[in-house]
Structure 1
Amino acid sequence: MAQILTITLNPTVDLSTSAASVTPGPKLRCTTPEADPGGGGINVSRAIRFLGGESTAFTAVGGETGALLLRLLAEERVRFTAFSVSGGDTRQSMAITDQSTGEQYRFVMPGPYWNHDMVDESLNAIAAAATVDGIVVLSGSQPPGVPIDYTARLSRRLSAHGIQLFVDTSGAPLHELVKHPANPYVLRMDDVEAEDLAGRALPTRTDTADFAQALVERGVAENVIVARGSDGSTLANATGRWHASRAIDPADVVSAVGAGDSFVGAFSMALTRGDTFQQALCFGTAAASAAVLTAGTQLCSAQDVARLLPGCVLVEV
C-alpha cells in the first residue's frame, strides 16, 4: 500500500465550546472547552486514523502551542514529523456554538510569519519525508510570508520523484495554481471557490463537471474534485466525469466543520489501497457526510462511514 504524507503549514489547536447565547457586550459563560489538533493536513491524517488507516502528518510547529499540538497528536496516535518554525507560536482557533440557535461561530488566527529560508527548508524537508510512489496531501491555509506559488513549487519538486500531490487549498494560492498550472495529481475545492474561479454560478452538476473538466484540459490538475455541499462531490479527469451523493437529513446536521478534511482523508486512503476513482469518490463522500453528524471539531467515524457508504449514489455527469 502506498504511503500518505499530509502537509500542514499552518496548523492550529482547535478549541470548541458553547454558550447559552452569543451576543455582544456581556461576558459569555461557556462550557468546558475541548482541544483538538487542527489544520487541513492534520485533520486529514486524523480522519485516516479514525477510518483505520495510517499516514504521517508533516506539520510546522512553534512555541508552547506547537508543543501542545504535538502532545494532542500523540494522544490520538497520529504519526507525525515536526518542522520547527521561528516566526511565532502555532496558532489557536475557536468554534463557539450558540445553544439557543444551534449556530456556530468560528474564529481563526493567522499563524506565525515565515521567512524565505523557512520556505526553502520546508520544501526540502517535505521532499525528504515523502516516499516514492506515495501520496502527499497539501491541505489548509498558508501562513503569512509563504509565497502564493508554494503549491506549484512543491508540485514540481515531488513530480520529479514520481510522488503524487493532492492539493486542497483556497484563496490566492488556488487562484495562482489555476493561473499558472503545475498539474498536481488531484485538486479539490468547494463550490464557492469553484464559482469564484469560474466567475459565474454553477447551479447544476453538469455546470460543475464542465468547469472541472475545463481545468483538467488546461493542465491545472490531472483530477479535479468540486464539493457541492450537501449535494455531494463531482470529479472530472481525462477519462470521464462522475458525481457521488448521499442524502443527509438537514435536521441531522450538527456541524459542517471537518467535512472537507474527512473527504480528503477517505479519498486518499481509498486510492492507496487500490480503489478506483469512482470507489474513492463514494468513500470520500460517505466520510464527508459522516463528519457533519459530529459536534465541534470532531471528524468522521468509521461506524458512520460504513453505515452511509452503501447509500452513496454514483452517476456519470
Structure 2
Amino acid sequence: MAAILTITLNPTVDLSISADHVLPERKLRCSRPDTDPGGGGLNVSRAIAALGGHSTAFVALGGPTGDKVMHLLSEQGIGLCPFPAPGETRQSLTVTDAATGAQYRFVMPGPEWGSRDVARVIDRIARAAPEDGIVVLSGSQPPGVPEDFPARLATRLARTRARFFLDTSGPALHRLMTAGAKPADVLRMDDLEAEELAARPLPGRTDTADFAQGLVRRGIAHAVIVARGADGNVLATAEGRWVAQAVPPQVVSKVGAGDSFVAAFTLARAKGLSQPEALRWGSAAAAAAVMTPATGLCLRPDFRAMLKGCALTAL
C-alpha cells in the first residue's frame, strides 16, 4: 500500500460540549467536554486510522496546546511528523443545544506565520513526501500563510514522486485557478465553492460534472471532486465522470463528513483501487460520519454498511 502523509498547518484542540439550552446572558451548565485533535489533515489521519489504515501526520505545533495535540495523537496511534509553529496552537469549541440539536462552532484563528516560516514548511513537506505515496493537504490556513500556498506546494511536490491530493476552499481555492501551478492529482471542493468558482448555479449533477471536467481540461487538477451533499459526490477526470451516493439512515451531525470522505478516498487510492471505486469509498465514509455526534468522524462498521448500498453511476 502506498504511504500517506497528511498536512495540517492550523491544527486545533477541539472541545465539544452540550447544554440543555443555549441562551444569552445565562450561565450554561455544560456536559463534560470531549477533547480531540482537530484540523483538516489531522481529521483525515484519524479517519484513516478508524478505517484500519495508516498515515503520518505532518503538523505544525506550538506551545502547551501543541503539546496537548501531540499527546492526543499518540493516544490514537497516529504517526507524527512535527513542525515548529511560530506560535501557540489554537483551540476550537463546538456547543450543542440539546433541546434543538443546533450546533454552535467557535473557531480560533491560530498563530501568525511569516514568509520564512512558509518557505521552511514547503521545503520540509517536500522532504517528508513519501516516494510513490500520497500527500494530502486539507484544512484552513493560519494567518500570514499566502493564498497561493496550495499552488506553491503543488508545484514543489511535482518535483517529487508523490501524488498531491488537495481539499481547500475560500481565497486559496480561488487563487489556485490563476496561479499557473502544476496540477494537483486530486482537487476536492463542496457544491457552494464550486458555484462560486463557476459564477453560476450548478443545479444538477451533470452541471457539476461539466464544471469539474472543465477544471481538469484547464490543467487545474487531474481529477476534480465536488461534494453535492445529500445528492452525492461527483468525480470528473479527462476520461470520465461519475457520481456516488450513500444514504445514511439518520443525520446526527455533518461535522467531519468532508474529512472522512477525503480519508476513505485517499485510503482506497493508496490500496490501488480505481478512482470511481475510491469515490464510492469516500461517499460511504462521509455518510457514516454524519451518523456520529459532534466532531465525530466515520466509524468502520457504519462505513462498511454504507459502502454496501453506495450507488456509483457514470454521467
Settle same-fold status: TM greater than 0.5.
Answer: yes
The answer (yes or no) to whether the contact 2:216–2:237 under 8 Å persists in 1 is yes
Distance 1:123 1:75 in 2: 28
Shift of 1:132: 1.5
Runs of 4+, deviation exceeding 6 Å:
none
Distance 1:308 1:275 in 2: 18
One-letter code aligned to 1:119: V
Deviations 1:120-178 (A, max 9, x none): 11011111111111100000000000011111111111111121110001110000001
One-letter code aligned to 2:236: A
Could you tell me which residue of structure 2 aligns to residue 267 of structure 1?
265
In the alignment, structure 1 residue 38 sits paired with structure 2 residue 38: yes
Shift of 1:18: 0.5
Could you tell me which residue of structure 2 aligns to residue 280 of structure 1?
278
Shift of 1:8: 0.2
The answer (yes or no) to whether the contact 2:59–2:81 under 8 Å persists in 1 is yes
Could you tell me which residue of structure 2 aligns to residue 174 of structure 1?
173
Q: 2:177 aligns to what SS in structure 1?
A: helix
Alignment of 1:204-243 (within 5 A): 204-243=204-243
Could you tell me which residue of structure 1 aligns to residue 189 of structure 2?
189
Could you tell me which residue of structure 2 aligns to residue 162 of structure 1?
161
Distance 1:316 1:11 in 2: 37
Distance 1:247 1:287 in 2: 11
Deviations 1:217-261 (A, max 9, x none): 111111000000112200000110000001224xx1111110000
Distance 1:17 1:208 in 2: 37
Matched positions, count: 314
Shift of 1:179: 2.2
Could you tell me which residue of structure 2 aligns to residue 100 of structure 1?
99
Distance 2:25 2:204 in 1: 43
Could you tell me which residue of structure 1 aligns to residue 29 of structure 2?
29
One-letter code aligned to 1:204: G
The answer (yes or no) to whether the contact 1:266–1:283 under 8 Å persists in 2 is yes
Shift of 1:181: 4.2
One-letter code aligned to 2:204: T
Deviations 1:21-66 (A, max 9, x none): 1111111111101100000000000000000001000000011100
Shift of 1:19: 0.6
Q: 2:124 aligns to what SS in structure 1?
A: helix
Distance 1:63 1:89 in 2: 5
Could you tell me which residue of structure 2 aligns to residue 306 of structure 1?
304
One-letter code aligned to 1:254: V
Distance 1:172 1:205 in 2: 25
The answer (yes or no) to whether the contact 1:186–1:223 under 8 Å persists in 2 is yes
Q: TM-score, normalised by structure 1?
A: 0.98
State the percentage of identical aligned residues. Answer: 58
Alignment of 1:47-126 (within 5 A): 47-86=47-86, 88-126=87-125
One-letter code aligned to 2:295: T
Distance 1:158 1:180 in 2: 15
Q: 1:17 aligns to what SS in structure 2?
A: strand
Distance 1:10 1:74 in 2: 18
The answer (yes or no) to whether the contact 2:91–2:107 under 8 Å persists in 1 is yes
Q: Which residues of structure 2 form unaligned runs of 5+? A: none
Distance 2:138 2:180 in 1: 17
Q: Which residues of structure 1 form unaligned runs of 5+? A: none
Could you tell me which residue of structure 1 aligns to residue 149 of structure 2?
150
Q: 2:221 aligns to what SS in structure 1?
A: coil
